[in-house]
């Protein structure tokens, strides 16, 4: 098992985070919206937040990014991206198990959204006990996102909260506050 550590992001990590996003998510973004480097870089610069992001390090090397939001009702995995060179080695599983445990200790579920075209990620989350709550997206069905939770709730209407809107905005390259 790899030695995984989280460290704070610094402003100097911005380019690493952009290149990581391109390597880890570029094909999925391209499949849904097409990859435009300038648009994606602008989206990254608007959303890059060293106060919220963490770098995933493996054996001392930067390998990914993690963004987790701790809310009153749930723990929301806003983003997890591992460089392809580090995928399939159990690193994501370690992190997900840890987040599920953290959410459980808080009496909450771990929730997330994933692009429906990312079938590998969907299968990964299902293997870790997540269940799909709802799919949402655009009318043309090109963009479709699956919302998943780590444990059943008595009322799945929670998905209509702001995360549903935020996921669509962020994944389309807009900031959650509506500013493009």
Residue 105's CATH number? 3.40.630.30
Residue-averaged pLDDT of the chain: 81
Pairing between β-strand 109-115 and β-strand 74-82 as defined by DSSP bridges: parallel
Q: Do residues 92 and 82 lie in contact, with contact meaning Cβ atoms separated by under 8 Å?
A: yes
In this structure, is residue 81 part of a structural domain? yes
- 153 pLDDT more than 80: no
Q: Do residues 176 and 169 lie in contact, with contact meaning Cβ atoms separated by under 8 Å?
A: yes
Averaged pLDDT, 51-57: 96
Report the number of distinct structural domains present in the chain. Answer: 1
- Distance separating alpha carbons of residues 31 and 61, to the nearest angstrom: 29
Question: What confidence tens digit (pLDDT) does each residue in 8-49 have?
Answer: 999 999 999 999 999 999 999 998 888 999 999 999 999 999
In this structure, is residue 25 part of a structural domain? yes
Contacts of 172 by beta carbon, 8 Å cutoff, 6+ apart: 33, 143
Q: Do residues 114 and 125 lie in contact, with contact meaning Cβ atoms separated by under 8 Å?
A: yes
Of 76 and 170, the structure prediction assigns the larger pLDDT to 76
In this structure, is residue 82 part of a structural domain? yes
In this structure, is residue 176 part of a structural domain? no
Look up the domain containing 45 and give its range.
4-171
């Amino acid at each position: 098992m790899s030695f995984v550590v989280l460290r704070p992001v610094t402003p100097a990590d911005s380019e690493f985070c952009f290149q990581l996003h391109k390597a880890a998510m570029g094909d999925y973004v391209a499949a849904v919206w097409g990859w435009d480097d300038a648009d994606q870089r602008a989206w990254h610069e608007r959303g890059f937040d060293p106060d919220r992001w963490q770098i995933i390090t493996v054996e001392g090397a930067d390998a990914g990014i993690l963004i987790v939001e701790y809310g009153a009702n749930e723990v929301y995995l806003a983003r997890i991206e591992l460089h392809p060179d580090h995928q399939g080695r159990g690193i994501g599983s370690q992190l997900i198990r840890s987040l599920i445990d953290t959410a459980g200790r808080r009496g909450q579920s771990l929730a997330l959204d994933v692009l429906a075209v990312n079938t590998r990620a969907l299968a990964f989350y299902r293997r870790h006990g997540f269940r799909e709550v709802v799919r949402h997206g655009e009318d043309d069905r090109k963009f479709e996102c699956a919302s998943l939770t780590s444990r059943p709730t008595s009322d799945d209407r929670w998905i209509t909260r702001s995360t549903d809107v935020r996921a669509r905005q962020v994944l389309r390259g807009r900031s959650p506050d509506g500013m493009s």
